[in-house]
A and B are shown apart, each in its own frame.
Chain A
Amino acid sequence: VNIIKSTESLHEILFLFLEVGLILGSLGVVILTNIVYSAFFLALVFVCISLLYLLLNADFVATAQILIYVGAINILIVFAVMLINKPQSFNFFPSWTTGDGITCAACTGLFFLLITTISDTSWSEIYLVTQSNNIVEQDLGGNIQRIGYLLLTEFLLPFELLSIILLVALIGAITVARREKILEMRVKSQALQAKED
């Protein structure tokens, strides 16, 4: 019992640290004027969320989060920020307009509504219902084995469609973002040759 209680309190302490990191990081993403700082605070948010997944016994999703979000998506965002040159503004926080104030009030209202709904839900009843609905599966042992098994049996069609989505996204991003000067030069040279003939 002592071991269980000490790991519970250790989980709570780590969770508090991650919560502080997430609160400050997300405020930094949204409020700071310099967008490079925002991109780095977003990396901090992604890393904190990955550690949160580790606390919630989701080791594969935590690894996937670090690899994909921090390693690919955040690098892509930093590239885009670097390629788009903007003039430097010297204040840290931007000036607020009226629309910003209205949105802040609406978002605060939404936050309090969500908090009230979460605290009003009886989670113990839902836990009992889900426990009674669960059929006892074979013990496959380990997180990754269970996810792999389910991805190849029950979720096979979404898995294959996901690979097609990635292919389409890759081709689409390259087509949208490439330079078209080579095509224009070829068209102009063909037009010049047609005039000479």
Chain B
Amino acid sequence: MLEHALNLGAYLFCIGIFGLITSRNMVRALMCLELLFNVVNINLVTFSNYFDTEQLKGEIFSIFVIVIAAAEAAIGLAIVLAIHRNRGSTRIDQLDLLKW
């Protein structure tokens, strides 16, 4: 079952990367980013369950990842709202103010 869980994590990771690269909407990109964070957590908890039952270091790391993902989602969505208020659209390819 260890390999089963890791294969599931690999599949979700590839779907998350695909969604992050090909999404034209900013909120969808943030949703795929949250999916990627969750896949990392799945891997950490799986390894903690099968290799580290004494000290559960993987679970503690996954708690940190959850909290940081929450903070990042809050700030990312605030930025998306500010951009939508100023420019009227949320397409990623129109965000080229910092381009050379």
Contact = CB atoms under 8 A, between A and B. Distances in A.
Interface of A: 11-12, 15, 19, 22-23, 26-27, 29-30, 35, 38-39, 42, 45-46, 49, 52-53, 56-58, 60-61, 64-65, 68-69, 72-73, 76-77, 79-81, 83-84, 86, 99-100, 103-104, 107-108, 110-111, 114-115, 118-119, 123, 126-127, 130, 134-137, 143, 146-147, 150-151, 155, 158, 162, 165-166, 168-170, 172-174, 176-177
Contacts of A99: 22
A5 to B, nearest CB: 13
13 contacts: A22-B12, A27-B15, A58-B48, A68-B67, A84-B90, A100-B22, A103-B22, A104-B18, A111-B14, A126-B51, A135-B54, A165-B71, A177-B81
A169 B15 contact: no
B78 A22 contact: no
Contacts, number: 201
Interface of B: 1-8, 10-19, 21-23, 25, 27-28, 30-32, 34-35, 38, 41-42, 45-46, 48-57, 59-60, 62-64, 66-75, 77-82, 84, 90
